[in-house]
Amino acid sequence: MDAVDVIRTKRDGHPLSDEQIRWFLRAYTDGDVADEQAAALLMAIVWRGLDSRELATWTAAMIASGERLDLSGVGRPTVDKHSTGGVGDKISLPLVPLVAACGAAVPQLSGRGLGHTGGTLDKLDAVPGWSSNLTPAETVAQLREIGCVIAAAGPGLAPADRKLYALRDVTGTVESIPLIASSIMSKKIAEGTEALVLDVKVGSGAFMAHEDDARRLAEAMVTLGADHGVRTTAVLSRMSVPLGRACGNAVEVAEAVDVLEGRGPADVTELTLVLATEMLALTGLGGRAEAEAALAGGQALDRWRTLLRAQGADPDAPLPEAAHREVVPAPAGGTLTHLDALGVGIAAWRLGAGRARKEDPVSAGAGVLCLAKPGDPVEEGQPLLELRTDDPARLGPARDALRDAVAVGPEPPPPEPVVIDVLRP
């Protein structure tokens, strides 16, 4: 095999053979193919795509590049959830303990945020004492004991994807449905879960702004799951408006606890219950009634506290707070008609809640609180958003990001349910 021949094949619009795909990914993972050659192939895939056979082989080769976690001994049905990312998306925090409280084992191996979308591990790092670094043996032991874990994926899971993901980020080759689908599913399949529910976001604050693209991505991932023996369902959910009222790290942890205590925002609670329902259905452990009962009865909250303690955190410790706060007032009276998720997400990022590069630090207390949501009546000068940061020099750039993110009008916008559709196998 020769890397240039593989690149030329895809560049000229021809399908790659299974042998070409397996060789290229193995050689790149081992360091025998240079970054510039992998970047050239990725760009050819962005332009030419991968057919269903190529995508299946590409994903299988990425899984085969490393180890696969063995969860057969945890003693419970295993199911996980993955979100394609959004603004204020703290769903994993209440969802994981909720589904575990209903009898499943949830191996949530998560990542950190980049740009305007927050990462689950960044949020949990705001909890004093929390540790996300578990060995595979520790992960399995914790799943067996309490039924849930939220931790960083180890370097041994799909290392080909780890290298390609970093390369795509700096070569303008992120926007490709086959590359996105294979990246997500290779990691989740290598994780060893029996079932998976995907939360595919649609809207300005999501990776996929248009529903047609999000649906194509969801369908591709559901098919990949089925091909690899993982029962997979995809939920299409809205991300044109921030999810909930808190966007940041510590502020989102606090809102997740509100959900578990039965006083969280309606959209966060509803999406948590929808995803829990699908996860329980895939494992045969029930449905919405069981999820609602575990939430209302406090079992999910108890499991959250148990999860924190298991990973070194004190569930009663105060969360970090930012040193500086500033409010953004309503420009006029009427009804809030628009609150753009992307603008709010960029503002939170500029305040210090996110990172531009993987090695950048994040501020635990930074973020944005949405004091009003679309449909709420507002008066001129009323606080709409609260900006929080540890560095007051960040307030100006955050305000700039919000310049076109807010609109007030005479009539409320039509209500939109948070869930658009559910794609089941």
The structural domains of the chain, with segments of one domain joined by +, span 3-49, 79-316, 324-409
Under the banding of pLDDT at 50, 70 and 90, the label for residue 188 is very high
pLDDT tens for 364-401 read 999 999 999 999 999 999 999 999 999 999 999 999 99
Q: Which fold has domain 79-316?
A: Pyrimidine Nucleoside Phosphorylase; Chain A, domain 2 (3.40.1030)
Of 120, 75, 118, the closest CA to residue 307 belongs to 120
| Residue 324 annotated as catalytic | no
Annotated catalytic residue 340: no
Task: Kindly state the tokens that stand for 270.
Answer: 């509803």
16, 10 contact by CB (below 8 A): yes
Q: How far apart are alpha carbons 105 and 98 in whole angstroms?
A: 11
What is the share, in percent, of the chain residues with pLDDT greater than 70?
99
Instruction: Considering the domain delimited by 324-409, tell me its CATH architecture.
Output: Alpha-Beta Complex (3.90)
Q: Write the Ramachandran bin of 202: left for phi over 0, alpha for psi from -120 to 50, otherwise beta.
A: beta
Same fold, 79-316 and 324-409: no
DSSP string, 99-158: HHHTT-BEEEEE---BTTB--HHHHHHTSTT------HHHHHHHHHHHSEEEEEPPTTB-
Catalytic-role residue among 22, 112, 123, 168 = 168
The pLDDT assigned to 153 comes to 85
Average pLDDT over residues 82-106: 96
The active-site residue, picked from 183, 186, 237, 363, is 183
Of 80, 125, 161, 199, the active-site residue reads 161
- For residue 306, pLDDT over 90 is answered with yes
Q: Tell me if residue 187 is catalytic.
A: yes
Taking alpha carbons only, the member of 182, 198, 181 closest to residue 79 is: 198
- Read off the tokens for 400: 């700039």
* List 90, 162, 163, 187, catalytic entry: 187
CB 278 within 8 A of CB 218: no
Buried b (16+ CB within 10 A) or exposed e, 23-40: bbbbbbbeeebeeebbbb
Catalytic, out of 10, 22, 76, 82: 82
Cα gap 172→384, rounded to integer Å: 35
Q: Is the pLDDT of residue 238 over 70?
A: yes
Sign of the CA dihedral with 51 first, then 52, 55, and 60 last: negative
Residue 35 known to be catalytic:
no
| pLDDT mean over 139-153 | 95
| Fold exhibited by the domain 3-49 | 1.20.970
What mean pLDDT value characterizes the chain?
95
Examine the pLDDT at 117 and tell me if it is beyond 80: no
Decide if 228 is catalytic: no
Please compute, for residue 23, the number of CA atoms within 13 A of its CA located in the half-sphere on the CB side: 12
Work out the burial of residue 14: count CB atoms within 10 Å of its CB; fewer than 13 is exposed, 13-18 middle, 19 or more buried: exposed
